[in-house]
């Protein structure tokens, strides 16, 4: 399975580089197959389309996240956050390729739509896990927590992929610890950490930040606006 995942990642990397150089519409499946050393038939046995190849690693990542969550965890809320960190770590390990991928996806509406669909797959996994492991949890509470974790992860991942300073695995963990504090389920996070809540260096752990948003606000917008505000404060 590891070899298969590595193979699919190498083909995806070849596709991303071709898309960056020639454009998505200007690149054919035959070109991707040739660049990866595959026949056309082998390419289509492995990938449904030249669109899917960009997101091939997500199938493996979802399986890894599901396997991680299937292990025993004393704190299911924390387990969801750590599963999100596993996904982030994969993209952090791609280095410059992650930034190139971000640029390619952002240029192509079809790829952006596909990325949104992929994001919902993680969200549904986290929701289902919480409903199965937290006794008496309301369905909406599972939705809220899972969507906030995903929005926070995606905010940090976009920062990483844009090459912005300060977006790394440690930053994400701090932000996700802040999410658990926000929902009152953080029993081990300690004082408020940097980058979220009120925890800029030198601030008191007793500081409180109150934010008001309309009911219609999307979780991604909430995470982005809070992050931008805290960066300005820092």
Distance CA 11, CA 6 (A): 9
Tokens of 43: 């390419």
The fraction of the chain above a pLDDT of 70, given in percent, is 80
Tokens 């704190």 sit on residue: 75
> How do the domains of the chain map onto residue ranges?
1-50, 52-190
pLDDT at 113: 85
The answer regarding whether domain 1-50 maps to CATH 1.25.40.10 reads no
Minimum mean pLDDT range among 21-35, 41-55, 151-165, 191-205: 191-205
- pLDDT tens by residue, 168-190: 999 999 999 999 999 999 877 55
Which segments of the chain does DSSP mark as H helices, in order? 2-22, 29-35, 40-46, 56-70, 76-92, 96-107, 109-133, 139-161, 169-182, 219-233
Contact 123, 194 (CB under 8 A): no
A 10 A CB-CB count for 64 gives 16
Confidence of residue 134 (pLDDT cuts 50, 70, 90): very high
* CB contact at 8 A, 172 and 156: yes
Residue 95's alpha-carbon distances to 140, 168, 187, in angstroms, are 36, 11, 33
Among 150, 156, 155, smallest CA distance to 129 is for 150
Q: How far apart are CA 152 and CA 55, in angstroms?
A: 20
Instruction: State residue 175's pLDDT score.
Output: 97
Q: Which CATH number fits domain 52-190: 1.10.357.10, 1.10.150.120, 3.30.830.10, 3.30.420.10?
A: 1.10.357.10
- Identify the pLDDT of residue 196: 41
Q: Do the Cβ atoms of 201 and 194 come closer than 8 Å?
A: yes
Q: What average pLDDT does range 128-135 have in this prediction?
A: 96
Confidence category of residue 193, pLDDT binned at 50, 70, 90: very low
Rounded CA separation 98/164 (Å): 13
């Amino acid at each position: 399975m590891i070899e298969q995942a590595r193979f699919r990642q190498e083909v995806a990397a070849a596709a991303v580089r071709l898309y960056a150089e020639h454009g998505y519409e200007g690149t054919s499946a035959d070109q991707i197959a040739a660049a990866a050393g595959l026949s056309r038939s082998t390419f289509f046995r492995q990938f449904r389309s030249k669109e899917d190849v960009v997101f091939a690693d997500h199938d493996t990542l979802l399986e890894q996240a599901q396997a991680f969550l299937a292990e025993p965890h004393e704190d299911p809320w924390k387990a969801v956050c750590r599963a999100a960190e596993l996904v982030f770590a994969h993209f952090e390990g791609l280095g410059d390729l992650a930034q190139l991928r971000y640029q390619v996806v952002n240029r192509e509406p079809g790829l952006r739509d596909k990325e949104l669909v992929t994001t919902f797959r993680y969200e549904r996994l986290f929701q289902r896990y919480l409903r199965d492991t937290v006794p008496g949890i309301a369905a909406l509470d599972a939705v809220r927590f899972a969507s906030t974790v995903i929005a926070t992860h995606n905010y940090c991942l976009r920062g990483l992929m844009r090459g912005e300073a300060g977006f790394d695995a440690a930053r994400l963990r701090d932000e996700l610890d802040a999410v658990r504090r926000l929902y009152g389920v953080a029993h081990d996070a300690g004082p408020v950490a940097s980058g979220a809540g009120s925890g800029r260096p030198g601030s008191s752990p007793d500081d409180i930040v109150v934010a008001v948003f309309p009911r219609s606000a999307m979780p991604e917008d909430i995470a982005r606006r809070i992050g931008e505000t805290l960066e300005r404060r820092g």
